[in-house]
Amino acid sequence: QILPRGITVAADAQSKVEGTVDPTLTWTVGGAGMVVGETLAGALARDAGESAGGYTIRQGTVSSAANPNYAISFVSGTLTITAAPAPAP
């Protein structure tokens, strides 16, 4: 029997300024690591909101179901939105 390889997917911390486009949500892989030449399917997601503050980056569709060769443990991250500068007078 072939078992899925155990890996840890950790969301990278990201930041942006209010009113700008979200950065691409990325991750790093730990644990046993990926098999050479393979990539993970899926995308991370973040909690909704556009005001200054911290928003949790969640697993989204980067799951073991979407990547059956891997048993994925997930570590969330934070997207920090900073206040936009006040317009010049």
Q: How many helices (H) and strands (E) does the chain have?
A: 0, 7
pLDDT (0 to 100) of residue 67: 95
Beta bridge partners of 45: 58
Q: Is 2 exposed, middle or buried (0-12, 13-18, 19+ CB in 10 A)?
A: exposed
pLDDT (0 to 100) of residue 86: 83
Task: State the Cα–Cα distance between residues 12 and 39, nearest whole angstrom.
Answer: 17
Q: Taking the model in full, what pTM does it have?
A: 0.91
pLDDT along the chain (89 residues), means of 10: 94 97 97 91 97 98 95 97 89
pLDDT (0 to 100) of residue 2: 87
pLDDT (0 to 100) of residue 88: 81
